[in-house]
Amino acid sequence: GAGVSQSPSNKVTEKGKDVELRCDPISGHTALYWYRQSLGQGLEFLIYFQGNSAPDKSGLPSDRFSAERTGGSVSTLTIQRTQQEDSAVYLCASSRDRGNNQPQHFGDGTRLSIL
Amino acid sequence: GDSVTQMEGPVTLSEEAFLTINCTYTATGYPSLFWYVQYPGEGLQLLLKATKADDKGSNKGFEATYRKETTSFHLEKGSVQVSDSAVYFCALNAGGTSYGKLTFGQGTILTVHP
């Protein structure tokens, strides 16, 4: 497709379960970013990928969070042993490269609800 | 560290009113500045950008000018429409060792009544 695609669009799970969120960036975009949007914290950066490597993981809130990217394309964000405070909308964005004048294009997000 | 501060919302206007949403920033170096918009039930969309001082970004009747001397990037529109009702986010990209990540303001909810 032409835009950034994220799946699932909604995920409801029980506390303590693991979840995987998927992001399919725009074709040819080398830079990929994960952000989290929550009522109390606004929009927060989580992790950045350039190709398959992640030079900046500084926004991951705990070691329960991890992410990978394969083939310079699809990325998955995994949250282990989910907690209620993990409930948020997880947004993925991609850009042509990491240059600071490059706009980031966002997916519609995955709304995660932890019961 | 880098930060963005937006005016408190929500903002409620009548159709055809003038809109200003204030945005100021703190950053090292020479950041690029962006306004993103999130319409109800939709994802974030880039509205406009400016990459250097005195640049003016514009799109869909919205404008914002990159003012380095006041570290500001205020969003303006001369005549709002009901369809402009959305959440507006100011953001900066400081580049360099920030690896291109965006730092966002807290968002401003705009509601336009007919």
Partner-chain contact A105 B103, CB within 8 Å: no
Q: Tell whether the model's pLDDT for residue B44 goes beyond 80.
A: yes
Chain A nearest-CA distance from B112, in A, is 22
The arithmetic mean of pLDDT across residues B26-30, rounded, is 85
Out of B45, B95, B100, closest to residue A48 by CB = B100
pLDDT tens string A21-46: 999 999 999 999 999 999 877 899 99
pLDDT tens string B6-23: 987 899 999 999 999 999
* Residue B91 near residue B47, CB atoms below 8 Å: no
Q: Tell whether the model's pLDDT for residue A105 goes beyond 80.
A: yes
Alpha-carbon gap, residue A93 to A29, rounded angstroms: 10
- A37-46, A63-72, B92-101: the lowest-pLDDT one: B92-101
Alpha-carbon gap, residue A113 to A13, rounded angstroms: 6
Q: For residue A1, what pLDDT is reported?
A: 53
Residues in chain A closer than 8 A to B96 (CB atoms): 100
Q: Reduced to 3 states, what is the DSSP secondary structure of residue A23?
A: strand
The arithmetic mean of pLDDT across residues B58-81, rounded, is 97
Q: For residue B99, what pLDDT is reported?
A: 74
Q: Tell whether the model's pLDDT for residue B96 goes beyond 80.
A: no
Which residue in A has a C-alpha nearest to residue B5's C-alpha?
A: A42
Partner-chain contact B31 A100, CB within 8 Å: yes
The arithmetic mean of pLDDT across residues A62-74, rounded, is 94
Q: For residue B13, what pLDDT is reported?
A: 97
Residue A50 has which token pair? 């350039």
Strand stretches in chain A, DSSP E:
5-7, 10-13, 19-24, 31-38, 42-50, 53-56, 65-69, 75-79, 88-95, 105-106, 110-114
User: DSSP string covering B66-114, please?
Assistant: -BTTTTB--EEESS--GGG-EEEEEEEE--GGGTT-EEE---EEEEEE-
Alpha-carbon gap, residue B110 to B63, rounded angstroms: 16
N-to-C CA span, chain B: 41
Q: Tell whether the model's pLDDT for residue A91 goes beyond 60.
A: yes
